[in-house]
Structure 1
């Protein structure tokens, strides 16, 4: 016999499984939860910092745009370019003054169509230098508006700069030249590099051609982005996005957005391995806890399994003795668990077997004596049975003829009953259809009433909406008048602030503070004008939509009136249907009553025929059964005699086998 796994091993395996499965699952869930939480926190930080950096860069660019745009409208500058350009010193002084107000400006210059260039600070340029061929000049002229160039390394200073340029117009809106400024990106780069993502993450700013503008590693500035994936995202027209890419053997996550004014891409990137490092501590702690729990479980399993195994071995020994025929054995194991119950059941089974064997021994003697008496009685019964069999055979022939006639009559009566039942079923179906039609009719009438009420409510609501829209249109016209007044005030304020700025510039150092105040007033005036234009656009849009809404409400009222006519016609049709259904229902009630009478008579006839047929069949079957039974009885009596003799022999053998068992003597 093949030996299977022991109980001790099964208990220990169960303990290990009970400990290992929950702890493994808990470890996985904890690691996954922590990983997701850390990743979500980092991604949230990236999104927040990206938005902050984006706002900072946009504000940086916007400030220089507004300053340069304002300076391009400087009257003394326009006057200088429009005249014979005699007072160069005053014009260079204006450039110097503007540069001193903006610490990020590395140089500022004015280029004219006749290839003249006025620059502060003074630069050593070749004699054949043609400013009109420069990208910043040609782009500003072709666009006819302010432009930004891609960042580049300044040849003289060696730092990263970007050029902003704007055309200068005379009073006839003709281009006199181009005003340009080289803006140092050191301040902006410092701000971007000050933002970090965890331990290894950082932010990269690139142009829309994939060229790096800012990077924590200075040697990468001005170089293309390191991977094709990042370059493709920078060049693509996608405004923002996120992805995972592979670089220098590391899986990295990045999220990016677009700087609105220059279409530059701002990337926030970090190593995904940082998340795994932070969650490894959780996994290690869980593994140590699992090993300790498994060790404690094994020790506890061994301690608990020892008494169980010891009792099982004693129980197996007692069961082997009982299996060898000794029913006097009683197990002496004392245990209050399931093994104790098993011992009690074994002892009870042994006692019951001992008692049963004693009874079998006594009954075997009684069986032997009864077998002798049975054999004698069987011989006497055999003769009587043969005489009864002959008489019953004659009775069987008469009952068979009667049964055939009765069965034919029952078949014809049953067919008639089935036809009547079919008629009754069809009548019931028609009644059900009429009832269902009545129900649907009531639902239809109710629905028509509800529809009429809803139509009336819709008509009233349309009138209220129409009145509200007309009131809103009048209010919008009044707001438009107010907005126009605000716009006029903003234009006058802007003009006054510009004149004040020019006068402050002429005043020199003493008017510089007043120039700053005038500039702030100009900005507020421009913002007010922009806001009033936006409000006017919204008011115009509201008035247009109000007119459309009034037309739509009128159309809705026409549709509702047509709907009310259709509802009234539908209600009349439902009333006609109701009268027809009532007439059909009355006729069906009369038919159903007559059918019930016919079904009752059919059932009475069928019951009588079934009773006659059943009686005939029972009589025929009984006679045949008696005839067969008499034949069988004769054979059985003979068999009983043989069996009685064989039973006597078996009883003797049974007595011999029982004597081999050891049982309790009573």
Structure 2
């Protein structure tokens, strides 16, 4: 606290406070700007990552849809089985088939189906007939091998002229693998969801075809679709960690690919930048305070000298012949010059007083000498008077004796 009582300490404290405030404002401003830029960069990078994988899935879907569309040319063949088998193998379908409007059906391989099997009652047939164009059915788990499967279907004809539907089942293993490969950071992942709020693909196979709320209670299809339209990051907690979701719709489907960035990892560079800024600010502050203290010590040296000299003068021990350096034109130089003038004039006044005191001392000594002479003469006079008095007494005694004798 004693330092704050001095002018140097007060200037140093005020300057340090201003410097701390300036560095704090600069650090906060840099952090906010960097965070905004980093967030924009995260959005761009996440979108780029998602789009690259979406393009792979879209290409996969287009390829399957083209194979199904090409099969329509064989719809009127009397024996289309061989053609269906070729299309199945070429398109890597698990099975390929035609469903006719008269409830007949043809598969690319022999199937043991119930005698009352009606292709027109199947979801893929109804969906294609209702759409009047190529469709992709919602994914489902195959009863034969337990794999995730989707059906590509295309109607042949439309309305009352509908002849039937060409369709093929294909495993989504490659799609699941593509989604699982989305891993921008160690704790980040990707998943694919449908517009009806179900998880289609996720690194955790147990979540397949489960509702989005099983992944995160607050996660809904509407939020994902809104994020896809706004192209903004959707913040949500998944698995006890805060995530930033980037959503990209998959063309030709009702699916969405979601990149779930781990917020802690994604913003780690920003935290590192903030830490670096804080450490740098502390170092700059320490250097600036040290330099300022050195400059103040140097610049206020003359003021300290004036203070010490005035203190010595006040205590009566001052050397009035001492002069302070007046180099420069600042206020301290003016104060030093004023002190030098004050000391010079005071020294002159004291010199005059000293001379007057000497004269008074000499006069006093002369007066004392005169007094001593006068005292000596007075003593001689008194001695003479005593002798005269004695003589007078003797004379009086002689006269008295003579008078007695004359009687």
Distance 2:68 2:3 in 1: 96
Q: Which residue of 2 aligns with 1:167?
A: 155
Distance 1:15 1:151 in 2: 68
Structure with more relative contact order (C-alpha pairs < 8 Å, separation 6 or more): 1
Higher helix share: 1
Say whether the 8 Å CA contact 1:331–1:343 is kept in structure 2: no
Distance verdict in 2 for CA 1:131–1:4, change over 3 Å: closer
Distance verdict in 2 for CA 1:336–1:276, change over 3 Å: farther
Q: Which residue of 2 aligns with 1:143?
A: 131
Q: 1:169-568 residue pairs with structure 2 within 5 A?
A: 169=157, 174-225=161-212, 226-227=215-216, 228-234=218-224, 239=229, 241-248=231-238, 249-297=240-288, 299-300=290-291, 312=303, 314-316=305-307, 318-319=309-310, 329=320, 331-334=322-325, 336=327, 339-349=332-342
The yes-or-no answer on 1:93 pairing with 2:82 is yes
Secondary structure of 1:247's counterpart equals strand
Please give the TM-score of this superposition, normalised by the length of structure 1.
Answer: 0.45
Distance verdict in 2 for CA 1:4–1:208, change over 3 Å: closer
Q: Which residue of 2 aligns with 1:585?
A: none
Say whether the 8 Å CA contact 1:23–1:286 is kept in structure 2: no
Distance verdict in 2 for CA 1:242–1:3, change over 3 Å: closer
Secondary structure of 2:138's counterpart equals coil
Distance 1:78 1:136 in 2: 20
The yes-or-no answer on 1:69 pairing with 2:69 is yes
**Aligned-residue offset at 1:238:** 6.9
Distance 1:267 1:37 in 2: 22
**Aligned-residue offset at 1:99:** 0.7
Q: Which runs of 5+ in 1 are unaligned?
A: 81-89, 359-659
Distance 2:247 2:178 in 1: 17
**Aligned-residue offset at 1:324:** 9.8
Distance 1:237 1:3 in 2: 58
Distance 1:52 1:217 in 2: 22
Distance verdict in 2 for CA 1:291–1:327, change over 3 Å: closer
Note the alpha carbon deviations across 1:330-383, whole angstroms, 9 max, x for none.
Answer: 65334646544312112324666899xx9xxxxxxxxxxxxxxxxxxxxxxxxx
Distance verdict in 2 for CA 1:236–1:350, change over 3 Å: closer
Note the alpha carbon deviations across 1:299-323, whole angstroms, 9 max, x for none.
Answer: 5555555677775455335446777
Secondary structure of 1:253's counterpart equals strand
Match of 1:129 among 117, 130, 133: 117
Say whether the 8 Å CA contact 1:244–1:251 is kept in structure 2: no
Say whether the 8 Å CA contact 1:192–1:214 is kept in structure 2: yes
The yes-or-no answer on 1:78 pairing with 2:76 is yes
Distance 1:291 1:235 in 2: 46
Secondary structure of 1:155's counterpart equals coil
Secondary structure of 1:142's counterpart equals helix
**Aligned-residue offset at 1:665:** 6.8
Secondary structure of 2:73's counterpart equals coil
Say whether the 8 Å CA contact 1:258–1:264 is kept in structure 2: yes
Say whether the 8 Å CA contact 1:318–1:330 is kept in structure 2: no
Distance verdict in 2 for CA 1:320–1:665, change over 3 Å: farther
Distance 1:298 1:34 in 2: 28
Distance 2:344 2:160 in 1: 125
Q: 1:574-653 residue pairs with structure 2 within 5 A?
A: none
Secondary structure of 1:9's counterpart equals helix
**Aligned-residue offset at 1:22:** 4.9
Q: Which runs of 5+ in 2 are unaligned?
A: 357-407
Higher strand share: 2
Q: Which region of structure 1 is more displaced relative to structure 2, 9-18 or 149-158?
A: 9-18
Distance 2:335 2:150 in 1: 94
Please give the TM-score of this superposition, normalised by the length of structure 2.
Answer: 0.70
Distance 1:297 1:169 in 2: 83
